Amino acid sequence: MTGGAGDGPSAYLSSISSVLGDETPLADVDEEIVRSELPNLYEQGLKYCRVSTQPAITLAAESARQTLAAVPDGAVDAIVYCTDTSPDKTTTSDGWDLLLALDRPTVPMTVLGGSGCGNLGPGLAVARNMVRVGDADTVLLVTGDRVKTGTRYLENGQTVLSDGAASCVVSSRRYGPAFRIDGLSSSFRVDIGTVAARPIIVARATAGTIKNAVRQVTEPLSLAASEFRYLLPGYYGRGPQAFLAMSAGFPTDRVYCPLLAEVGHCFSADVLLSLASLRETRAADDGDRLMLLAMSPRSWSIVVATQVGGSTAPP
């Protein structure tokens, strides 16, 4: 699945917000596997994870309310909710609860899953396409996840899962400083087995699929990796980050994972957290190109974005 420039109006991502669980030192996580992996996790650059007892939908609503406060009333005419967390009731009920919590009971809503911690990629694709074909002018995109059962430790990513939510709007308008979405490519490969059983095969397939996804989205835009300021992957450990950078054709010093130590891996919220950090810390300039990598162990989305300033929305 790909989408390049020139097929419709530009789509801009702006008004990023987030709500994270309580900052918890990894040493305080009550899991044997996390305790036994502590030295490795520290070496990988992690110090804390975020823990919440709130339902994912509550975290999502809290973040989304902050995003909605940054755009005019009535501007949002569609909502996309991305989650990999099993619903407390049903997926549909959770979606309806989100609309009620946001006081948007009549806004069309889509719940999106199937790409694990890479749900942001398909979520952006859906939101962007709504804007480009005219189905919506401004889409609220929300992620919300938490660890309900099982371990927080992720061996594949050498990281620890965190509870939290992030949100933004995707729109034909720029609500303040924004990121223009220039291209997007998503790939799946579910027949590769596990890292434990076939490490080299899985690593080669992952690297090859990322490389192809990068090519699919950069070639129509006539861009090379050297023209990007940063690669923004999820908050995986330093080893996996280096692997992802190599796969995408980036040197490791252009990987941007500013909140890895403090946040851990917050499912599909990571990339939005990094984009917000870019703005807050002024780590990038207007006009800088960014490559976003949203992924699960079996799916990969590459998004080309450009930081843009100014607002085109009415006050």
Per-residue interface string for the shown chain with other proteins, residues 143-182, x marking contact by CB under 8 A? ----------------------------------------
**Interface region with other proteins, contact rule CB under 8 A, candidates 2-10, 178-186, 235-243, 267-275:** 235-243
User: Could you tell me which residues come within 8 angstroms of residue 143 by beta carbon, excluding any fewer than 6 positions away?
Assistant: 60, 81, 82, 83, 119, 120, 123, 165, 166, 167, 267, 268, 269, 272
CB of 195 to other proteins, least distance (A): 9
Q: Is 271 helix (H, G, I), strand (E, B) or coil?
A: helix
CB of 242 to other proteins, least distance (A): 6
Does 107 sit near other proteins (CB under 8 A)?
no
User: Could you tell me which residues come within 8 angstroms of residue 241 by beta carbon, excluding any fewer than 6 positions away?
Assistant: 233, 252, 255, 257
* Residue in 126, 132, 180, 251 with CA at minimum distance from that of residue 12: 180
Q: For 21, phi and psi rounded to 5 degrees?
A: -65, 180
HSE-CB of 187 using CA atoms within 13 angstroms: 19
Does 201 sit near other proteins (CB under 8 A)?
yes
Does 199 sit near other proteins (CB under 8 A)?
yes
Does 108 sit near other proteins (CB under 8 A)?
no
CB of 17 to other proteins, least distance (A): 35
CB of 2 to other proteins, least distance (A): 22
CB of 192 to other proteins, least distance (A): 9
Count of residues near other proteins by CB under 8 A: 14
> Residue from 53, 190, 200, 282 that binds other proteins (CB under 8 A)?
200
Eight-state DSSP code of residue 265: B
Query: How many Cβ atoms sit within 10 Å of the Cβ of residue 168?
Result: 31
**Interface region with other proteins, contact rule CB under 8 A, candidates 14-22, 31-39, 202-210, 283-291:** 202-210
- Residue closer to other proteins by CB (options 4, 45) is 45
* Residue in 27, 245, 161 with CA at minimum distance from that of residue 257: 245
> Residue from 66, 132, 239, 312 that binds other proteins (CB under 8 A)?
239
Does 204 sit near other proteins (CB under 8 A)?
yes
Does 207 sit near other proteins (CB under 8 A)?
yes
Does 12 sit near other proteins (CB under 8 A)?
no
Q: What is the DSSP string of 88-116?
A: SS-HHHHHHHHHHHTT-TTS-EEEE-SSG
- Residue closer to other proteins by CB (options 247, 301) is 247
Q: Are 160 and 37 in contact (CB under 8 A)?
A: no
> Residue from 12, 179, 243, 256 that binds other proteins (CB under 8 A)?
243
- Residue closer to other proteins by CB (options 205, 261) is 205
- Cα(94)–Cα(118) distance, rounded to whole angstroms? 20
In the chain, alpha helices (H):
32-36, 38-43, 56-69, 91-101, 120-133, 199-218, 238-248, 260-263, 270-281
**Interface region with other proteins, contact rule CB under 8 A, candidates 94-102, 111-119, 156-164, 205-213:** 205-213
What are the residues binding other proteins (CB under 8 A)?
Answer: 198-201, 203-204, 207-208, 211, 239, 242-243, 246-247
